[in-house]
Structure 1
């Protein structure tokens, strides 16, 4: 019995009308000649996207597509958590909770949900099916926004475990995700090892860095740490702002749809395996549907606030480790770590280097990731 209420996405028309007016009234900034994307989001491309958003994008069509999935909201410790819950169609599906990160949403997973719940439909073995639960972070999309300070990733993991065990009645389950979703999956493995069948990640999480004694780093680990430091200096300004003064940023992003789009799509371009061409990987509809999930719910402020909470109330302590089996899919655009670095905090049982893909693997390479999840969890189904 599911202890949750069904939920149907139905954005008020007044919100969509207001959005079109704001798009039409955009006050565009100047841009240096031949700036391309070097200064941030390219104005020419953003104007093209905004024009499509205003005049061609059909939210009702995307809304209907999203409503093909079964949505719920469940009350967990005072917060209504939104999630998609699709039962597997194989003989013995195992429950798998999938968690997104920032600046994406539950929409990250929409392509792989049917691949995991109904593998036979895609020519795969039905014995590899999953019950799939895709959760929306508190403060993201249709989940409630935390109102008190300190709601860090560890709190998210606690809510996930309660939802899985108390609201959905699973005694054991599996966890997977990327970005913040990898971190939450890692924390689930740390906090609730008796309940976790296994953990799959497309990012190494945060624990390994805390466990990395500089005196014992291999040459490969030293090179990786140096690369991460360089990336932080070149690409990490967003995290510094969101981790220190998120409210100042939120006013502009929550008021301007073009500003919101600019902040989000620059990360999709930088972090995806697209060679600088966003639409070689994503359609405009996909980019805008993800952005809309922030816009129509007024949730960009509460979403970026999670960076502040984790910075000021860290979920991790030195020495933490995940002892349940862990699989990692390493996508080349995502600055992959050496295996020995990941093993400082994770019980790695499968280490797969992927030929293509980046940070948003479930959207970029859904077939590859779905195959990887089936392969990793297959021998763990008896746990």
Structure 2
């Protein structure tokens, strides 16, 4: 991509992948040198060899390597320069009057691919069994270093800088009132927007809220071998959340620690498609279990093997495996810490999220809490895996702000 980040105009964009890049991807997948099988019968050592070999077989033979390109080019995409960096984004205006503008931020190892199946239901509810009164204009930007947004050539693009860029983007699009939503990294960016509280921002929604009290955050962060017994005085829901986070910090955050400390060491992500795929699949135990099922032929909800490979293929072809990981190095905020949100806030708690935020913590973290719902199903990649459920939550969460 040419370095045109100084051009602040809004320019139409379409994906055009050279055939030579497609052919080289297929060649590299087929030439993978495989290790031995794991020595356990579960996923405790990482992504199973059988899963990766089936992924590689399907990727190189049956999967349409231009599927993600076709899907992205079916929606309006644009580029604009913000702070010297080209930002890629999807922008779909609703056909219904008085639609509420909404900016959605993805996470890692996801991307804008996560949101493709919710754009239609959000922008045109009647076409998907909903009410036109719940319509949104939808903006989905790619975080710098992800997909087709430019890769930062210098430090400084942390979640706070990204929040400022998104505020600038919504202003440039002419929106004088809007709401914001995010999960994973998107939750951090959205929380920061809610703390900055620009006048145009009516409210936010998070499916991975930052609610961890400071004293508990310190206890978790200062002992990577485990925080020991939970503090006394916690309710049942609070103890459950503390235990979930303690397990995550000690057993499930290895990828984040590596990218937080040494992202430039991960050259395999740029050299081997299968190395990249394995790294992206092993985000958290529940998601990995679902993805393993997808490649076993029994996908859980919407996270099919094609959806998974759309995201991985785009990441490979844009060579953003390492640049996306640098966001962990840039970040100085606690993933689950309170960010100081003051605008109206809505929270959906999914049972397969990294942790289930207790209502007691949520009310303190978001003093203007307008919506809180604990669901009986749903996952970390909420929009990607359960688009109907995610859409319903956003409609309900923002209904009072219209």
Per the normalisation by structure 2, the TM-score is 0.88
Question: Which residue of 182, 186, 192 corresponds with 1:181?
Answer: 186
Structure 2 residue runs of 5 or longer lacking an equivalent are 1-7, 220-230
Structure-2 change in CA distance of 1:67 and 1:319 (3 Å):
closer
CA contact (8 A) 2:38 2:49 kept: no
Instruction: Give 1:13 shift.
Output: 0.9
Written as runs of structure 1 = structure 2, the 5 A alignment for 1:1-383 is 3-165=9-171, 167-205=172-210, 208-210=212-214, 218-219=234-235, 220-249=237-266, 251-267=267-283, 270-271=286-287, 274=290, 277-278=293-294, 279-281=299-301, 282-310=303-331, 313-314=332-333, 320-334=339-353, 335-346=355-366, 347-381=368-402
Instruction: Give 1:270 shift.
Output: 2.9
Structure-2 change in CA distance of 1:222 and 1:268 (3 Å):
closer
Q: Secondary structure at the match of 2:33?
A: coil
Structure-2 change in CA distance of 1:275 and 1:260 (3 Å):
closer
Structure 1 residue runs of 5 or longer lacking an equivalent are none
CA contact (8 A) 2:282 2:288 kept: no
Q: Secondary structure at the match of 2:346?
A: strand
Q: Secondary structure at the match of 1:59?
A: coil
Figure out how many residues of one structure are paired with residues of the other and give that number: 375
Instruction: Give 1:371 shift.
Output: 1.1
Q: Secondary structure at the match of 1:324?
A: coil
Structure-2 change in CA distance of 1:61 and 1:222 (3 Å):
closer
Select between 265-274 and 101-110 the one with higher mean Cα deviation.
265-274
Counterpart in 1 of 2:3? none
Instruction: Give 1:216 shift.
Output: 9.5
Select between 361-370 and 267-276 the one with higher mean Cα deviation.
267-276
Select between 59-68 and 330-339 the one with higher mean Cα deviation.
59-68
**CA separation in 1, counterparts of 2:93 and 2:251?**
43
**CA separation in 1, counterparts of 2:291 and 2:277?**
20
Q: Secondary structure at the match of 1:131?
A: strand
CA contact (8 A) 2:281 2:291 kept: no
Structure-2 change in CA distance of 1:211 and 1:293 (3 Å):
farther
Q: Secondary structure at the match of 1:73?
A: strand
Q: Secondary structure at the match of 1:370?
A: helix
Instruction: Give 1:150 shift.
Output: 2.8
**CA separation in 1, counterparts of 2:214 and 2:387?**
31
**CA separation in 2, counterparts of 1:212 and 1:194?**
32
Kindly report the root-mean-square deviation, in angstroms, between the aligned alpha carbons of the 2 structures. Answer: 2.3
CA contact (8 A) 1:175 1:198 kept: yes
Counterpart in 1 of 2:223? none
Select between 27-36 and 334-343 the one with higher mean Cα deviation.
27-36
CA contact (8 A) 1:208 1:344 kept: no
